[in-house]
Structure 1
Amino acid sequence: MTVRLAVTAAAITAALATASPAQATAIYPIADPDPFYAAPADIGNFRPGDVVRSRQIPAVQFPGSTVWQLLYRSTDSGGDPIAAMTTVILPLGGGHNQPLVSYQPFINALGLQCAPSHGLFTGEVKESVALNLLLARGWAVTVPDYLGPDSAYGAAKMGGRLVLDSTRAIKRFKQIGLADSPVALAGYSGGGMVTGFAAALAPDYAPELPIVGVAMGGVVENIGKLALDTYGAPNPLFGLGFAGAVGLEREYPKDMALDKWLNPAGLALRNQMSNACTEEIIADAANKKFTDYFNGSADDVNATQVHIIHANSLETFDGVPRAPIYQWHGTSDVVSPQLVREVAGRYCHAGTPVQLDMLPGADHGTGMLNAPRAIDYLADRFAGRPAPSNC
C-alpha cells in the first residue's frame, strides 16, 4: 500500500490531462446480476437518502450481528439521481440508537462484484474482520458502496455524498432502530479521502446528521500534486492508477474521455480490467508506466480538467468540516505529509477542532496500524467528552 495511492494519482492525473471532450465512450462495468441493486425507473422521485428497498442477509463473518442492506437514492457528479447501496451491521441485540460508525474501506476496483456489499463477505474488503472491534463496543457499523453504481474509482466528492446519503437512509429506515444514533465517520487511505469529503460536505449537504467525530488517516489531499511527484516511473502497482483513470472517465465521460489518448495497448487494458478487482488490476499492469498506454503528456491539462481534479481534492475543495477531526499520517508517507499539515491548519483556522498525529517514520502501509487510537478517539466523542485539539 506504500506506493499504491501515489501511482494511482499519477496515472489518474496524467490521463485526465490528456483527455479530450470530443469522445465519450467510457467502458462501464457489467451490471450486477442481483436485481436488488437495480435502480427503479422512478428513482428521481425519491429524495437523496430515501430507502428504495431493503433486505436482511446472513453474515457468519460478524457473529451475533444482524446485517441489513439498503438501496437508497443519491446523486452522481453530473447531478443525476442514482441508486446506491450500503451494508448495515448491528451488534448483538440489534439497533437501539447506539452509536453508528460509517466506515469507508479502501476499495481499488472497477467491477461491481468488488464493492463492499459483496466484498465484506468474500474477502475483497481486507478490513472486514476488524469491524468486529467496533461491533464489540456495541456500535452499529455501515459500510457504503461509495464508488457508486458504476464503480467510479477516484470520484471522491461523489463518494462523500454517497456516505452522507447512506447515513440518511439508515436513520429513515425505522426497522433498523438507529434513527436517533450519534454518527461518526472513519476511513484510511482512499477510504480516508472519501471520509474527508463526507465531513467537508456535511455542513451544507446534510446539516441534520449528528456527526460527532471524524477519524481519517493516510489521506491524499490533492491527487494532482501527488501525481506531479510520482509521474512517469514504472511501478508494480501502476494498474491501480490506470483503473483510477478509467473510474473517473466513467464519472465524467465527456470531459475525461480516454479514447483519443489511449494507444492500442491502453484500449486493450481498459477493456481487460473493466470488471476487475484489486489483485487482477495490479497483475494486469505490473511494472508498467504512463507511456506504455497513453499518448500525450501531463502538460496538456485544460481548465475543465483542472476544475474536476480540484473538485475531487480536499486541499482545493472549499468545504470545511464542522465535526471534530482526528487525523493521522506517517512522516515517511509518499502521500505528502506537508499537505496534510496545511489542510489541517485550514480547518483549524476555520474553528474545527483537529487533533493531528504525525507518526515518526511511518509510511503509508505502517500508518494504518494507528487505527486503534482512532477508535479510542471516536469512543470519546460518543461519550460526549470534549474534543482535543493541537491546532
Structure 2
Amino acid sequence: MLREPLGDNRAVDRMPDLPPRSPMRPSTRSLRASRARFAVAAAALAAAALLTVPTASAAPVQPVADGDPFYYGGAESSTPDGAVLGVRPVAAPAFPGASAWQVRYKSTDSAGAPIAAMTTVLTPPGGGAKPLVSYQPFVNSLGMQCAPSHSVATGGLQETPLLAGMLARGWAVAVPDHLGPTSAYGAAQLGGRLVLDGIRAVRDVPEAAAGGPVAMAGYSGGAMATAWAASLAPEHAPDLPLVGAAVGGTPVDLGELADRLGGTPSPAFGLGFAAAIGLEREYPTRSPLGDVLNPDGLALRDRMANLCTDDILAAGSGRSIDELTTRPGIFDDPEVRSVMNENSVTFAPPPRIPLYVWHGDADPLVTIGPVRDAVGKFCAGGTPVRFDSFPGADHGTAIVAGGPAAFGYLGDRIAGVPAPSTC
C-alpha cells in the first residue's frame, strides 16, 4: 500500500490503520488539512524566510555530523563525479530476499566543491544484470540521522511498500540521500546532481548487478530532485543509459509559491523554516538567513538544526516569518530570487528523456497551473511528456492515484516500448 507524505519518518495511510494521535495529529480532519501543505510549505515559507535584504554576517547552523565513520573521507577535487569511495553490505529486513549495500561516492556541491555523498542500493534475488530505478524519497529534515540511508535499512522509510513493489518487478532500486552531506533541504538542483552521481556509483558496484537500463522517480520534494536530475543529465551525466523519469506532485516554482503563500501562519511553518535553513547551508553567502533573523528566529533555527520532520513540525507549528525576522515581508531581493529560480523545476533545461508527470487537480497549495506551464515549456523544448491530472486528488492523495500509472510507465520505458506523449 502506498502511503502519503507526512515527512521522512512517519506516514499516514489513506486506508484504515492510522497511527495513534499525537499533539501534531489531533484528528483525521486536521491531518487532511495539514498534510497537503507539508511538501509545499517547505518551498513557499522558505522563500519568505529568505527574501529579505541581508544586513550583517551570520554563519549557517550545520547539522551534527553523522556518528558513523563510514560517511566520511575520500572526496577530492581530482576524483571523478560518481566515483565509488566506499561500499558495505547492510541489513534490510523490510525487504525479504533482497540484498542491500550502502555506497559512498564523490559528487559536488552548488559551489563546485567536492563532497562525499551516500546512496543505498537494494537488489532483488536472481542473477544477471538488472534494470535500475533511482527513487528519491520526500525527505523533509535537517538532521543527518533522518537520511534515507538510515531509514531504508531499518524499514522506517515511508515509501517502503513502494520500493518492495519495484523489487518485485525485478528492478534494482537506488535510494540516494539527495539532501546531501549537510541535509540541505530545499536545494533541489544539488539533489539532481546527487541522483545522477549516485546512479553512476551504483552501476560500478559489481554486487548490485545494476547493469541494465536506468529510470528515475520521485514524488513532491523527491520529484524536484528527480526532475532536476533529468534536466541536468545531458550535460552532467551523458554516459548514463537513462530511459525515462516519473515525477508527481512537483512544486515546480519556488518563487510562485513564495509570492502566493509565503509568510502565512501555518501548522506546517516548521518545514518551511527548515527549508530556509537548508538553503542557507547550501548557499551561505547568497541566502544568509541568519543575517535577517531576530533573537527569536535565531533560537528557532538553532532548535531545528538537527531535527526530523515530526519534531520540526512541532517546533514551528503556528509560527509566521514576520515574528522571526528583523525585516519581514521583502520578497524581491534579486540574489535570493535567483537562488529560488536555480532550484525551481520550471527554470530547468528541458529533459532529453521521456517524462511522466502527474498531479492532483484539487491540490490547493501545489496548484496545477504552474505544473501545466512547466509541462508546456518542456514540451516546447522537445521533451516527450505524458501528463496526467487526477480529478479530486489533493497533494496527499495524488501519490496513491498516480503511483501505479507512474511505475507502469517506467516499466514500459525499461522494456523499450516507445514513449507516449500528451504534448
Q: Report the TM-score, using the length of structure 1 for normalisation.
A: 0.96
Counterpart in the other structure of 1:111: 143
Counterpart in the other structure of 1:324: 354
Deviations 1:156-182 (A, max 9, x none): 00000000000011122233222x310
Partner SS for 1:344? helix
* Cα displacement (A) at 1:73: 0.2
Counterpart in the other structure of 1:311: 342
One-letter amino acid of the structure 2 residue matched with residue 368 of structure 1: I
Aligned counterparts, 1:1-391, within 5 A:
1-18=35-52, 20=54, 22-40=56-74, 43-93=76-126, 96-122=128-154, 124-178=156-210, 180-299=211-330, 301-317=332-348, 319-333=349-363, 334-369=365-400, 370-391=402-423
- 1:21–1:255 CA contact under 8 A, matched in 2: no
In structure 1, C-alpha distance between the alignment counterparts of 2:220 and 2:327, rounded to whole Å: 29
| Greater Cα shift, 287-296 or 29-38 | 287-296
In structure 2, C-alpha distance between the alignment counterparts of 1:123 and 1:294, rounded to whole Å: 39
One-letter amino acid of the structure 1 residue matched with residue 37 of structure 2: V
In structure 2, C-alpha distance between the alignment counterparts of 1:278 and 1:313, rounded to whole Å: 22
One-letter amino acid of the structure 2 residue matched with residue 154 of structure 1: G
| Greater Cα shift, 227-236 or 142-151 | 227-236
Partner SS for 1:260? helix
Partner SS for 2:36? coil
Partner SS for 1:44? coil
- 1:20–1:255 CA contact under 8 A, matched in 2: no
* Cα displacement (A) at 1:59: 1.0
- Using a 3 Å threshold, how does the CA distance of structure 1 residues 65 and 300 change in structure 2: closer, same or farther? closer
In structure 1, C-alpha distance between the alignment counterparts of 2:311 and 2:41, rounded to whole Å: 16
- Using a 3 Å threshold, how does the CA distance of structure 1 residues 80 and 150 change in structure 2: closer, same or farther? same
Aligned Cα RMSD in Å?
Answer: 1.4
| Greater Cα shift, 352-361 or 79-88 | 352-361
One-letter amino acid of the structure 2 residue matched with residue 239 of structure 1: G
Deviations 1:138-166 (A, max 9, x none): 00000000000000000000000000000
* Cα displacement (A) at 1:19: 5.1
Figure out how many residues of one structure are paired with residues of the other and give that number.
387
In structure 1, C-alpha distance between the alignment counterparts of 2:108 and 2:208, rounded to whole Å: 23
Deviations 1:241-294 (A, max 9, x none): 000000000001112112221111111111111110001000111121112222
- Percent sequence identity is 49
Partner SS for 2:44? helix
Structure 1 moving runs of 4+ over 4 Å? none
In structure 2, C-alpha distance between the alignment counterparts of 1:305 and 1:166, rounded to whole Å: 28
Partner SS for 1:315? helix
One-letter amino acid of the structure 2 residue matched with residue 49 of structure 1: G
* Cα displacement (A) at 1:364: 0.3
- 2:89–2:101 CA contact under 8 A, matched in 1: yes
- 2:106–2:197 CA contact under 8 A, matched in 1: yes
Partner SS for 2:160? coil
- 1:21–1:256 CA contact under 8 A, matched in 2: no
- 2:246–2:355 CA contact under 8 A, matched in 1: yes
* Cα displacement (A) at 1:110: 0.2
In structure 2, C-alpha distance between the alignment counterparts of 1:260 and 1:22, rounded to whole Å: 5
In structure 2, C-alpha distance between the alignment counterparts of 1:308 and 1:232, rounded to whole Å: 18
- Using a 3 Å threshold, how does the CA distance of structure 1 residues 152 and 134 change in structure 2: closer, same or farther? same
Deviations 1:314-348 (A, max 9, x none): 1123x110111111001111212111111111111
Partner SS for 1:143? strand
In structure 1, C-alpha distance between the alignment counterparts of 2:36 and 2:137, rounded to whole Å: 16
In structure 2, C-alpha distance between the alignment counterparts of 1:140 and 1:90, rounded to whole Å: 5
Give ranges in structure 1 of 5+ residues lacking alignment. none
* Cα displacement (A) at 1:21: 7.2
Give ranges in structure 2 of 5+ residues lacking alignment. 1-34
- 2:101–2:120 CA contact under 8 A, matched in 1: yes
One-letter amino acid of the structure 1 residue matched with residue 144 of structure 2: L
